[in-house]
Structure 1
Amino acid sequence: MVQVWEDWRALPGAARGGTVALGNFDGVHLGHRAVLAAAHAARPDLPLCALTFEPHPREVFRPQDPPFRLTLLPAKAAALAAAGCAHVHAVPFDAVLAAMPAEAFLDTILHGALGARHLACGADFAFGHRRGGDVAMLAHWAEARGIGLSVVPPVADASGPISSTRVRRVLQDGYPERAAAMLGRDWEVRGTVFQGDRLGRELGWPTANIWLGRHLEPARGVYAVTAALPSGEVVKGVANVGRRPTLGGDPETRLETHLFDWSGDLYGQEIGVRLHHFLRPDATFNGLEALKAAIAADAEQARAVLG
């Protein structure tokens, strides 16, 4: 079971003295996994830890930007645990941390608080006030203190280095399969099911609705999906990402999922919806009968795609 620590100032002994992978780890893609693997391979005798920042620094510096997160902390911690992490240090990113000079970040947090005995990062890792610290500085600092450092080159595919930015771009372009190839798993949106206007139920297509919230908004439209339910069951379905233009429009983007051959009450419970294939863009229909016919066609296509 992974331990998530959100206060670096009060860590117990068990959470200190590990081999520490450094990064934002948004998405925990194959490049991130390579950094974690390098940290573990260098010191397999030590607990594997990941140091990340919450919220993501970009959310602090550019709060007006649209949401862009691939993984919020619980999902990020779960993915880091699946990659072998025993401890996740989710260092609170705020004005105080943003103003901390690079050397102070190393001395105070990595050395003082975490007692890191080995470090691993990507070649472009930067840290400290105005990203003033780089890998060369980190290497010099670590060597002076007898701390090992693994600098990991980017993991690349046919299109170039894998990055969170590239994963976001393919999701926004409607290619969840390409995102899955870079993540090493299907991209999932986790959220709490809220009670809508129950129109789907009236149309004969009940849906479990969640808000995207701080998650990246993928291409709006219809997807073949699977949903991970609180019971542990994974159910196939069809989902729509959008703002319901036929019904007058929502101020926020929602993910509405119809689960195939399943019935039950999910209100107030958390589900994870995994996007597999993009079926068609969002559309406005001329009335509810046309909408109903479109949903039926989408469901049939989603069943065929999911097999």
Structure 2
Amino acid sequence: MSAEFSNTQFLNVDQNAPIAREMRGGVVVIGNFDGVHAGHRVVLQQAQKQAREGQPVYALCFEPHPRTVFRPDHPVFRLSPPREKAKLLQASGMDGVVNWEFTRAFASNTAAQFVDNVLLGHLGAAHVVVGYDFHFGKDRQGSPDFLINAGKASGFDVTIVPEVQLEGGLEVSSSAIRAELENANIEQANTLLGYRWFVMAKVIHGEKRGRELGFPTANMHMHPGCRLAQGIYAVTARRADGSLYKGVASYGRRPQFDNGNPLLETFIFDLDAQLYDEELTITFHKFLRTEAKFDSIDALIVQMQVDCEQAAEHLKDLAPQSGFDKQLNF
């Protein structure tokens, strides 16, 4: 983040809003950045390094995810929907994000049209930063080399960031992280992210079954397309006022009762408060077990007590896994 913007509000705009005058002539880093994982943040850091004193640095992202546009019957499991992504980009030091609506009509534009209409016309970009595998325009005709040549012809600089690997040779990608979450490997997913994965949503009214069982829960809908492994997790919950609590959460269909639509239900330790319509941030630390249907309600209650004990044990010596994780989740 450049010095001129260090104390200003993070700018979150869509393509229909005129770009702020002070953001024109900035460094634009382009990508979906789903999850803003450890590899993405290397690209973002490179963008920040390119900025001159007082020059804004911001991300250009596409909503909805392009793969969802082309395959609406198989929506992408979003690691970070727009609001979560904005929070992550801001924490990464960006001055703002421009959310460009991705449609089939937009996808039919040529690479040259993207450069002329978006990068130059709308954004007035002075420097463009992309990953090594970035392609754009109709039929993905725009390659990194195309972008470099376009920059030379039109007067903007271009930086191509090479592939990123973590220590030990781990390759980082949003697809790999989605696969880990779908397979209940939450800790491996968190390693690839470089922070603990979280979701943000408002608390809704439920069936009040948890309260009847002695475990009142804060119920939340996950983002459409979420394919997180269904089961029981050790979590932390942050309230709107910033206070942080430990807890245990169930994500799934409640086979003991109705086998309905997936819902996130969080029992928050040491909190007795009215949470309806309050936005919570739930951070996932460890997968404890899969969902199950028990022989009786009493057997379910016994297992819920065990779940709480296991979650508390895992969370008792909780510490940030990185500086970025500390910034987000502690």
In the superposition, the TM-score normalised over structure 1's length comes to 0.96
**Bigger shift: 41-50 or 231-240?**
41-50
By how many angstroms is 1:296 displaced? Answer: 0.5
**Bigger shift: 170-179 or 274-283?**
170-179
* Cα distance in 1, alignment partners of residues 225 and 285 from structure 2: 17
Q: Does 1:183 align with 2:193?
A: yes
- Residue of structure 2 in register with 1:24 after alignment: 32
By how many angstroms is 1:96 displaced? Answer: 2.4
* Cα distance in 1, alignment partners of residues 285 and 52 from structure 2: 35
Q: Show CA shifts across 1:232-281 (max 9, x none).
A: 1111000011110110211x211110000111011112111110001111
* Cα distance in 2, alignment partners of residues 9 and 126 from structure 1: 25
Q: Does 1:72 align with 2:72?
A: no
Q: 1:11 aligns with which of 1, 10, 19?
A: 19
- Residue of structure 2 in register with 1:143 after alignment: 152
* Cα distance in 2, alignment partners of residues 7 and 294 from structure 1: 50
Amino acid at match of 2:223: G
* Cα distance in 2, alignment partners of residues 287 and 124 from structure 1: 53
Query: Superposition pairs for residues 11-160 of structure 1, below 5 Å?
Result: 11-45=19-53, 46-157=55-166, 158=168, 160=170
* Cα distance in 2, alignment partners of residues 248 and 89 from structure 1: 41
* Cα distance in 2, alignment partners of residues 271 and 9 from structure 1: 29
* Cα distance in 2, alignment partners of residues 66 and 74 from structure 1: 18
Contact conserved, 1:230 with 1:269, CA < 8 A, in 2?
A: yes
- Residue of structure 2 in register with 1:195 after alignment: 205
Q: Show CA shifts across 1:11-45 (max 9, x none).
A: 23122111011100100011111111111101242
* Cα distance in 2, alignment partners of residues 193 and 280 from structure 1: 24
Give 3-state SS (helix, strand or coil) of 1:90's partner: strand
Amino acid at match of 2:11: Q
RMSD after superposition: 1.4
Contact conserved, 2:111 with 2:142, CA < 8 A, in 1?
A: yes
* Cα distance in 1, alignment partners of residues 283 and 241 from structure 2: 16
CA distance change for structure 1 residues 9 and 191 in 2, over 3 Å: closer, same or farther?
Answer: closer
Amino acid at match of 1:88: V
Q: Does 1:234 align with 2:244?
A: yes
Query: Superposition pairs for residues 211-222 of structure 1, below 5 Å?
Result: 211-214=221-224, 216-222=226-232
Contact conserved, 2:67 with 2:75, CA < 8 A, in 1?
A: no
By how many angstroms is 1:286 displaced? Answer: 1.7
Q: Show CA shifts across 1:33-86 (max 9, x none).
A: 111111110124211110000111112111111550001111101100111111
Give 3-state SS (helix, strand or coil) of 1:167's partner: helix
Q: Does 1:163 align with 2:170?
A: no
Contact conserved, 2:68 with 2:75, CA < 8 A, in 1?
A: no
In the superposition, the TM-score normalised over structure 2's length comes to 0.89
Misfit runs of 4+, over 4 Å: none
Contact conserved, 2:126 with 2:156, CA < 8 A, in 1?
A: yes
Contact conserved, 1:71 with 1:215, CA < 8 A, in 2?
A: no
Question: Percent of aligned positions with the same letter in both sequences?
Answer: 40
By how many angstroms is 1:284 displaced? Answer: 1.4
* Cα distance in 1, alignment partners of residues 52 and 66 from structure 2: 30
By how many angstroms is 1:8 displaced? Answer: 5.3
Gap runs ≥5 in structure 2: 1-8, 317-330
* Cα distance in 2, alignment partners of residues 4 and 137 from structure 1: 28
Give 3-state SS (helix, strand or coil) of 2:256's partner: helix
Contact conserved, 1:168 with 1:216, CA < 8 A, in 2?
A: no
Contact conserved, 1:171 with 1:219, CA < 8 A, in 2?
A: yes
CA distance change for structure 1 residues 167 and 44 in 2, over 3 Å: closer, same or farther?
Answer: farther
* Cα distance in 2, alignment partners of residues 34 and 8 from structure 1: 29
Give 3-state SS (helix, strand or coil) of 1:108's partner: helix
- Residue of structure 2 in register with 1:2 after alignment: 10
Query: Superposition pairs for residues 290-301 of structure 1, below 5 Å?
Result: 290-301=299-310
* Cα distance in 1, alignment partners of residues 75 and 17 from structure 2: 32
By how many angstroms is 1:293 displaced? Answer: 0.9
**Bigger shift: 241-250 or 62-71?**
62-71
* Count of aligned pairs between the two proteins: 306
* Cα distance in 1, alignment partners of residues 10 and 192 from structure 2: 23
- Residue of structure 2 in register with 1:255 after alignment: 264
* Cα distance in 2, alignment partners of residues 33 and 8 from structure 1: 27
